[in-house]
Chains A and B, each alone.
Chain A
Amino acid sequence: MDIAFLLNGETVRLTDPEPTQTLLDWLRNDRGLIGTKEGCNEGDCGACSVVVTDKNQTAALNACILFLPQIDGKAIRTVEGISAPDGTPHPVQKAMIDLHGSQCGFCTPGFIASMAAAHQNGRSDHDDQLAGNLCRCTGYAPIIKAAELAEAAPKADWLEKTPFVLPKIATEIQAQPAPEGPVYIPQTGDELAEFYADNPDATLIAGATDIGLWVTKQLRALPKIAFLNQISDLAEISETDDAFRFGAMVSIEQLRTTLTSHAPSFAQMLRRFASAQVRASATIGGNIANGSPIGDTPPALIALDATLHLRKSDVRRDLPLEDYFVDYGKQDIQPGEFVEGVSIPKRAHSLSVHKLSKRFDQDISAVLGAFNIIVENDKVSSARIAFGGMAGIPKRASAVEAALTNRVWNTETVAGAIEAFGQDFAPLSDMRASADYRLEAAQNMLWRVWHEDQGTATSVLEVTA
């Protein structure tokens, strides 16, 4: 396997790179580019952020959980390549110096990468764009001021989308039938289906925001891998009269953008899904397929009655998403079968999604509740409610739904439904929250939905001093 990419404007070709070597390790150890830092080695601190441009987007990504084959055909800018070719600082670099945005400086290269990507994309939602970059020294105020100051400066033309004329060495090689090797980079869904049916023991890597940690933290060896990032037909978003369909490789960021008008509460919650870096890498397919009980998209998708599309070889099947999650660590999926996509019906809904975590941004949910309660003529005509963090799987609150459905939408009904939570859930205690708190907070989320409906202020995120 050969790969090729642009690094700070220069073409780099690698023959048979170690498939699970991270871009960060390669930059620092092999290439001697030590400006990019390792802060946590799990994609949570952003010190390793680099700017990655491909034909779809320019984004900051965490180099510590990005495997080399994933950057094939892309353009990478590290902190060493952000200044203009003549050495003139990028506007965000100048602003960070002038406004005292660095103290110890260790997080700074990652901030510069994130800020440069945001600047290039014309973004001014700095808290969102920088939620994935931790700083322990400054308290962030000067960094945000720097990002604001740089807004007015024109985009850096040297960072403009690089024309993708890279030799696709990998493609040529992979076009040969060679899926026996340890690494396979399919170009189409059909190729993946054929390969995976024959190699059900392979690890499928989409965005690597979870599997990256298998390698960097669990130090697992992955003997057989398929990288899915070049499969463009799995990255499509299509819209019919009845539904939105998202290919498994659609990123969380694309999902968020697409859902802004159809399911604004879902999209708003996705703003708090990890960080900009992770949302640009992580995929909707990955968030579902790994079966985590605390993934943030499944409860909302279940509340919207989403359909999961699975494929094994040439056989496709659909099932309601909620049925995919069988038990902790167990999903309704066959060896060699993979998630091809998910569809959200275009029905009227009232989805209201509530994420609860110790920190607002870039935290894993202690509880995530998704409520789709439709009230017609003061009566609950339908209720689809699902939770994450309350069971071993993302799970519907069937008893709660039953306690609401066909009843008058009033406090008595809500109070009755609160009682039903105990039938649906017996959550666990862990470092994120105790079982009792999870249950009470989940119940109170229903009260919050009620209060919201009555026009009462319920979100601390919307209060200003």
Chain B
Amino acid sequence: MSVHKSLAHDSGPLHVTGQARYVDDIPTPTGTLHLAFGVSSVASARIQSVDLSAVQAAEGVVAVLTAEDLPFANDVSPSIHDEPLLATGEVHYLGQPIFLVVATSHLAARKAARLGQISYETREPILTVEAAMTANSRFEDGPRIWQSGDALGEFSSCPNRITGQLDVGGQEHFYLEGQASLAMPQENGDVLVHASTQHPTEIQHKVAEALGLPMHGVRVETRRMGGGFGGKESQGNALAVACAVVAIQTGKPCKMRYDRDDDMMITGKRHDIRVSYDVGFDDTGRVRAIEFKHYMRCGWAQDLSLPVADRAMLHADNAYDLPNIRIESHRLKTNHQSATAFRGFGGPQGMIGIERVMDHIAHKLGMDPLAVRRANYYDEADSLSEPTGSAAETSHQKLNKTPYGMKVTDFVLGRLTQELEASSDYHARRAAIADWNDSNPVLKRGISLTPVKFGISFTLTHLNQAGALVHVYQDGSVMLNHGGTEMGQGLFQKVAQVAASVFGIGVDQIKITATDTAKVPNTSATAASSGADLNGMAVRVACEKLRARIATHLAEKHSCEASAVEFSDGNVIAGSHRVSFAEAASAAYQARVSLSATGFYKTPDLQWDRIAGKGRPFYYFAYGGSVTEVVIDTLTGENRILRADILHDAGKSLNPVLDIGQIEGGYVQGAGWVTTEELVWDDTGNLRTHAPSTYKIPACSDRPDVFKVALFENENRENTIHRSKAVGEPPFMLGISALMAISDAISACGDVYPSIDGPATPERVLAAVNRVRNGV
């Protein structure tokens, strides 16, 4: 069996020698044209006039397009057709594309794009939560409100009550490879698009709309991305559509890639969030009633903001049984880049709210925050079938049901936390840190353990499907294709391991091929951590069909039961006959057995009503826990992560080293979200942090000095691919412990709760230290 093995990333040898090809590396024919957008310099305006004569006259310019030049749909939205490729009369954010330059080189296109003379009748942009709420500027007609129990009624009977507010900033994806597309015109008006995208089918769909073609006229291919993180789920549409339209109009191949600054000015980022909370709890820290209000600035277009904000609500409970809860979610329309998918897809924003609440309750009661967390944990899955506890416990019996009514039947955080407490030496270190802080007036340390429970499945239920195409050639080599895309996560290798296991051959006999809409149609985005779950299953189905055909043939030939034919170690054994897999394939071919099959999978048992906020949106939950220790400087607010211990549940891992790679990378990215990564817009709506010189993702030395990552011994209770669990997004939220550890360190400065916002830049930390020291 090749599954559950730590095989290295299939592209490693190509990566380290520079041979791995990305979109901008694909050799292009002579005469390839290069595109760039001319963008808005104001955040909200009616366009009065557009003078592109200097653009047209610039060196190397072949053509300049505005909205009127687009032959069919002028729309690149993944949701409700509210996102024109090129602005039509109005602009809604600073950086919005207005015109499209076609030139003989990338540099010529970029230079010309700056020469547009556009005059605007400007309006006051809506930039803040307050401004949007006042103007009732939002998506949907009002806030989404989900309730379970009677939070507002219960507050009065709670012995303790606190209120608070947490603001956490957005996050730039900073995939190292910027957005890129290359369109090649084909005969008969068809087009082939190479796109750096997590969603080739969406690109196909939007390009077809833009060209007035049926989807069969557009083929999209994606071999790999240089990072995605959700930023290439919908944000590549504009480039692909632009390239395809111009390719068809000019008959020339067209390439577009954003310069880094353009990428950051044009594309969407993680939604920032304001979470306000009102919580009633007993003296043990057990929450009895809680109300959350979520305010998310979604930017100018809807994009994926509704499901993102839904997922924030769906993770407002994280790991905790909250018997009476009300969640109100405002999806605000503002004059910013349209916020979009980013690893966790709203989950981190929802989860950090309840983690703040747990921390705040503990502070109020003078308890270890971990004890409060444990007191509110859902019950362990293993304990659910046992008889109910003693009478003393029944007064606050846990419902083990999420706020949206889904039973939590696979909870493992009790055991996971216990193991992590021991392996990280949490309690002894916490005591040692308290002592250390007593004798250090300037520096303070802090520690925090936070859990993750993350729901796995697309909440738009129909997306939970996948297809695969598998060919066995007569020499026994196998070509594998499926709808998932490779963005570095190692999906292709994991899925190849699944295929190799079915055939009993090595992964080296399997060719992993680029995602291609002509091979597998109607695919879902590689998103929601679903890649291996969905595509692994579809590939297994296809491979099992082929294995059955080969087995049937050999069984007939050698007079044995097809079910008794074994595939292992590169051999096929039918009764007393043993042949190599290649010989078996050749024999099947000669007997005119079809050696090509498709596979299809859909996740079972899902049903979800997003308006009511009720149902089972998730197939299962993935779990994890992290302990982060930090040190802060109370003079400047500078802070560092000293150590992180992580225990994460990847089920029965398909590939432990690849999963650990996701966990380590996810943690550091999550820690970056809450520490150094700060998006700053000025009061005209101009993003001032639009390059790595001003926007700081973690660098090498920002990783924890001591970084211990382990997989939790578990297997998925649901029938997923080899009982594994999704691992793309959940580890991101392990980074929340970094913010809570910083809060813990600040708490050493006085008695007031720090209420630190994210990201915890030195400036925010110093402000919190001052608040705590001054007792305000």
Contact = CB atoms under 8 A, between A and B. Distances in A.
Given A103-B489, A448-B635, A35 B18 contact: yes
B748 to A, nearest CB: 14
B25 to A, nearest CB: 4
A233 B694 CA distance: 36
A455 to B, nearest CB: 11
Nearest to B663: A139
Contacts of B114: 219
Q: Among A45, A105, A432, A451, find the residue whose CB has the most chain B CB atoms closer than 10 A.
A: A105
Given A34-B18, A102-B9, A465 B665 contact: no
A33 B18 CA distance: 9
B498 to A, nearest CB: 20
A82 B14 CA distance: 13
A304 to B, nearest CB: 23
A361 B177 CA distance: 22
Contacts of B20: 105, 108
B291 interface: no
Contacts of B635: 441, 444-445, 447-448, 451, 458
A301 interface: no
- Classify the secondary structure of A's interface with B: loop
B638 A127 contact: no
Contact of A356 (B261, B441, B638, B692): B638
Contacts of A230: none
A86 to B, nearest CB: 13
B423 to A, nearest CB: 14
Interface stretch (B318-326, B461-469, B535-543, B699-707): B699-707
Interface string A452-465: 00001111110111
A78 B18 contact: yes
Interface string B66-104: 000000000000000000000000000000000000000
A80 B766 CA distance: 47
B17 A80 contact: yes
A249 interface: no
Contact of B18 (A42, A109, A130, A219): A109
B42 interface: no
A296 to B, nearest CB: 14
B141 to A, nearest CB: 36
Interface in A89-123: 89, 92-93, 96-98, 100-109, 112
Nearest to A113: B18
B700 A361 contact: yes
Interface string A237-252: 0000000000000000
Contacts of A42: 260, 691-693
B694 A39 contact: no
B661 interface: yes
Contact of B443 (A101, A447, A458): A458
A35 B17 contact: yes
B177 A465 contact: no
Nearest to B22: A106
Contacts of B442: 448, 451, 456-458
Contacts of B440: 456-457
Interface stretch (B144-152, B600-608, B625-633): B625-633
A441 B763 CA distance: 9
Contact of B678 (A126, A219, A358, A360): A358
A232 interface: no
B692 A141 contact: no
A136 B669 contact: yes
B754 interface: no
A85 B502 CA distance: 40
B55 to A, nearest CB: 13
27 contacts: A34-B24, A34-B25, A35-B18, A39-B176, A101-B16, A102-B11, A103-B9, A104-B488, A105-B11, A106-B177, A108-B15, A136-B665, A138-B668, A139-B668, A139-B698, A140-B699, A140-B703, A144-B700, A219-B114, A356-B762, A359-B676, A359-B698, A444-B766, A460-B632, A460-B638, A460-B640, A463-B631
| In the complex, the 3 A-B pairs of residues with the closest C-beta atoms, listed nearest first | A35-B18, A104-B488, A106-B226
Given A100-B9, A359-B696, 8 more contacts: A39-B176, A40-B692, A79-B16, A97-B16, A103-B489, A105-B14, A134-B692, A143-B700
Interface of B: 8-9, 11-22, 24-25, 27, 105, 107, 110-111, 114, 173-178, 224-229, 259-261, 440-443, 445, 487-490, 629, 631-633, 635-640, 642-643, 657-658, 660-661, 664-669, 676, 678, 680, 688-689, 691-694, 696-707, 709, 761-763, 766-767
